[in-house]
Amino acid sequence: MRLLIRLRARADAAYQNDYHHKLRGRLWKGLRGTKHDELHDAERPIGFSFSNVFPWGDIEEDDERSVLVASTDRDLLASVADGLVTDREFNVGEMPFRVEEVTTVAPDVGEPGTRGTLETGTGVLVRIPPWKADEYGIDDEGDEATFWQPEHSLRPFKTQLENNLDQKHDLFCDDHLPGPSDREGDLFDEYDLLKTFAVPVEVTQGVEMTYVLSKWRFGYRVRDDHHRRHLNLALDAGIGERNALGLGFLNVQKGSKRPPGASSKATTDEAATDGGR
């Protein structure tokens, strides 16, 4: 489940690529004083992710922009929505907006047999722990995690992505249900790397780190109801690390979903797609 937040610019502004911490702070404003407030400093995935302000690009007064917020917890989304309706000023650093409308959308990858494409609206963070470096043939003698890059091959990327989604499945799905690594077959059928890039991210107040991120299109065919659940979990919780900072946010690519037996492209449930770097 996700919220679609429609915004209107209150002034001209340059687009801020280091928006992550400021946007998280604005969204979290509605969670202060609620039961979800304690999640702010959680050292585990919290089932919460969000897009950038889109479409990407410098802003002129009265421009229309949007933000998507996804979560595995509908109550958390309701608290975010309540906060946005109560206080419609929506400033992301030096980008000033006003909330025009907040609606819910419920993207779904489709029933078994459906084919489609998921695309990363924001960069994906995958880090390879130092104790895995030798296994993947990575020359790294340090004790810090290594940012995934194309020269490391797809194997560590796919493995770390699946392990991360396993953790989220353990946290947010019923215990008796099998997780991604409990089932045969890859999470995605196709991995189309669009680009890698480095971006400064303020991970907490006054602390900035440079992350190496990647953007992707993932082709999929829903094998069964379990696989459908795993893919929809990725839509709600994000993929890779640091989803609560807006990394690893996924969309169903518009026009990509083809129901079982369909020979032409069909319109998806997604309300909007991100622009971005």
82 to 1, 38, 96, 274: CA distances (angstroms): 16, 18, 20, 23
Are the C-beta atoms of 16 and 92 separated by less than 8 Å?
yes
Q: What per-residue confidence (pLDDT) applies to 34?
A: 78
Cα 179 to Cα 1: distance, rounded to the nearest angstrom: 20
Q: Give strand ranges (E) for the chain.
A: 2-9, 48-50, 64-71, 89-92, 95-105, 115-120, 127-128, 146-147, 190-204, 207-221, 250-252
Q: What per-residue confidence (pLDDT) applies to 77?
A: 94
84's tokens: 């946005």
pLDDT of the chain along its 277 residues, tens only?
999 999 999 999 999 998 999 999 999 887 887 777 777 666 788 899 999 999 999 999 999 999 999 999 999 999 999 999 999 999 999 999 999 999 999 999 999 999 999 999 899 999 999 888 888 888 766 788 899 999 999 999 999 999 999 999 999 999 999 999 999 999 999 999 999 999 989 887 778 899 999 999 999 999 999 999 999 999 999 999 999 999 999 999 988 989 887 754 433 333 344 444 4
Strand order in the sheet with 64-71: 48-50, 64-71, 2-9, 95-105, 89-92
Tell the CATH topology of 115-252.
Alpha-Beta Plaits (3.30.70)
242's tokens: 């640091």
Are the C-beta atoms of 139 and 152 separated by less than 8 Å?
no
User: Domain map of the chain by residue range?
Assistant: 2-105, 115-252
266 to 33, 42, 101, 104, 114: CA distances (angstroms): 43, 39, 27, 21, 11
pLDDT digits (tens, 9 = 90+) for 166-196: 999 999 999 999 999 999 999 999 999 999 9
Q: How many CA atoms lie within 13 A of 89 on its CB side?
A: 4
pTM for the model: 0.90
Ramachandran sector of residue 75 (left: φ over 0; alpha: ψ -120 to 50; beta: rest): alpha
Element of type H or E holding 172: helix 154-172
Cα 151 to Cα 2: distance, rounded to the nearest angstrom: 35
Q: If we measure between CA atoms, which residue out of 193, 253, 195, 198 comes closest to residue 17?
A: 198
Are the C-beta atoms of 6 and 84 separated by less than 8 Å?
no
Q: What per-residue confidence (pLDDT) applies to 42?
A: 67
Tell the residue number behind the tokens 């560590």, with chain if given.
Answer: 156
Q: Is 222 exposed, middle or buried (0-12, 13-18, 19+ CB in 10 A)?
A: buried
Cα 141 to Cα 137: distance, rounded to the nearest angstrom: 12
Positive or negative CA dihedral for 187, 272, 103, 47? Answer: positive
The CATH label, of 1.10.3470.10, 3.30.70.1890, 3.30.428.10, 3.20.20.140, for the domain at 2-105 is 3.30.70.1890
Are the C-beta atoms of 273 and 215 separated by less than 8 Å?
no
Catalytic residues: 41
Note whether 2-105 and 115-252 share their fold: yes
